[in-house]
Amino acid sequence: MRRFLFSQTSCSLLRRQRRPKDIPHRWFISSTSFSTAEYEDGDAFQSSPSKVKIFDRHLKRTQRDRAAWLLRPNDSFVHAVAENLVDRLEDCKKTFPTALCFGGSLQAARQMLRGRGAIQKFIMMDTSYDMLKLCKSSQRDSDNENIETSYVVGDEEFLPIKESSVDLVISCLGLHWTNDLPGAMIQCKLALKPDGLFLAAILGGETLKELRIACTVAQMEREGGISPRVSPLAQVRDAGNLLTRAGFALPGVDVDEYVVRYNSALDLIEHLRAMGETNALLQRTNILKRETALATAAIYDSMFAAEDGTIPATFQVIYMTGWREHPSQQKSKRRGSATISFKDIQKQFGNGS
């Protein structure tokens, strides 16, 4: 597991710089996808196929709308996650003519492509119309490689993508908000063509552990009990099982840990709002008492503040890689087909221990 440390106040990381080229765009909202024009009340996003309801998908879409106005153009954490995710395309000799990208950091993922994967057609999908509108306007103002870009308003829990229609699916910091994560991953696999690649980055269970501790202590002191303030997240050990359950071939999982430093707990909350990563639990309490909020900030500062006065926030990011099955891929041998015994290997190369 790699560990990164940087300050949110500087909002910069060292990255390789390349001169981009012009990019044409066309505005496209699929008639088979969810559209805010057709569902103004947001009911379409509430009627997901998931039976288990943990997150309020309508609230999450509202938070994404707000994030479109608060989004930081040079967010060092978001860009670092997107860079590390799409950098995996450098290890593939295969090209991916058609790609689908969705999640909380789809704009950063689009910016970090820089010609990787030889993508010709790029589909950007989000539940928020405002976020897609921001992506479209920012891409018009920036230079990039010649990629045909489409924009679709849709939900990760019900992908409006035809089966076997894309070569690459990228989900950057979005799938951890789905009510049915295995089901969403299965839909991603079905959208891929044979030998298509699935890349995903989700927040892991160690994310915001400092904030969890501070909230718990403050609520016990001020209210005599606790209520969920930070959403539940998947553990590292679950990621491999999720890929296998979804039916991906050649699954791979790795973890990075980012420590971002803020001037205060308020700056941390503002950053979470700008990313659209604030609490969206159905069983949440809608009111946070002022005294509890102040106590949380004070406890956070007293327990975790550094000598320079900044406070750390840990973000654990789990990266998942999987392929849709294809005859050309490596496959494990049939059970019992081995011709060499491990006992013989131990006798020949072992040290007798």
Cα(87)–Cα(75) distance, integer angstroms? 18
Question: What CATH number should be reported for the domain holding residue 68?
Answer: 3.40.50.150
Report the SS3 class of residue 6: strand
Mean pLDDT across the chain:
83
Residue 173 falls inside a structural domain: yes
**pLDDT band at residue 223, thresholds of 50, 70 and 90?**
confident
pLDDT at 79 over 90: yes
**pLDDT band at residue 143, thresholds of 50, 70 and 90?**
low
**pLDDT band at residue 351, thresholds of 50, 70 and 90?**
low
Range of the domain at 195: 57-207+233-259+314-326
Cα distances (Å, whole numbers) of residue 265 to 34, 99, 311, 316: 36, 38, 7, 18
Q: What is the pLDDT of residue 25?
A: 35
Residue 338 falls inside a structural domain: no
Residue 107 falls inside a structural domain: yes
Residue recorded with tokens 């040079």: 74
More confident residue, 274 or 347: 274
Measured in whole angstroms, the distance separating CA 273 from the mean position of its chain's CA atoms is 15
Dihedral sign (CA 28, 68, 116, 175): negative
* Residue in 319, 250, 271 with CA at minimum distance from that of residue 74: 271
**pLDDT band at residue 248, thresholds of 50, 70 and 90?**
very high
Cα atoms found within 13 Å of the Cα of residue 39, Cβ hemisphere only: 19
Read out DSSP for 247-279? T-EEEEEEEEEEEEEESSHHHHHHHHHHHT-S-
Number of domains in the chain: 1
Cα distances (Å, whole numbers) of residue 245 to 175, 239, 348: 15, 10, 39
Cα(56)–Cα(36) distance, integer angstroms? 17
Residue 132 falls inside a structural domain: yes
Beta bridge partners of 7: 261
Cα(141)–Cα(132) distance, integer angstroms? 14
> Would you say 8 and 267 are in contact if contact means Cβ atoms under 8 Å apart?
yes
* Residue in 167, 168, 136, 171 with CA at minimum distance from that of residue 156: 171
Chain segment 285-329, per-residue pLDDT in tens: 777 788 989 999 999 999 999 999 999 999 999 999 999 999 888
Cα(46)–Cα(296) distance, integer angstroms? 32
pLDDT at 16 over 50: no
Could you say which DSSP state residue 87 is in?
G
Encoded tokens for 55: 């997150």
Residue 8 falls inside a structural domain: no
Cα distances (Å, whole numbers) of residue 196 to 82, 95, 101, 148, 227: 19, 10, 14, 19, 42
Chain segment 225-243, per-residue pLDDT in tens: 777 777 888 898 899 999 9
Residue 222 falls inside a structural domain: no
Chain segment 154-201, per-residue pLDDT in tens: 999 999 999 999 999 999 999 999 999 999 999 999 999 999 999 999
Beta strands 311-323 and 192-203: pairing type? antiparallel
Cα(192)–Cα(247) distance, integer angstroms? 12
Encoded tokens for 2: 């790699």
- Alpha-helix runs per DSSP H in 174-235: 181-191, 209-222
Cα(70)–Cα(134) distance, integer angstroms? 11
Residue 250 falls inside a structural domain: yes
Residue 297 falls inside a structural domain: no
Chain segment 255-293, per-residue pLDDT in tens: 999 999 999 999 999 999 999 999 888 887 777 788 989
Instruction: State residue 254 phi and psi, 5-degree precision.
Output: -145, 165
More confident residue, 95 or 348: 95
**pLDDT band at residue 20, thresholds of 50, 70 and 90?**
very low
**% pLDDT > 70, the chain:** 83
Chain segment 28-48, per-residue pLDDT in tens: 444 344 333 333 344 444 444
Report the SS3 class of residue 306: coil
Chain segment 201-222, per-residue pLDDT in tens: 999 999 999 999 999 999 898 8
Cα(25)–Cα(4) distance, integer angstroms? 35
Instruction: State residue 15 phi and psi, 5-degree precision.
Output: -135, 155
Q: What is the pLDDT of residue 62?
A: 94
Encoded tokens for 267: 């700056």
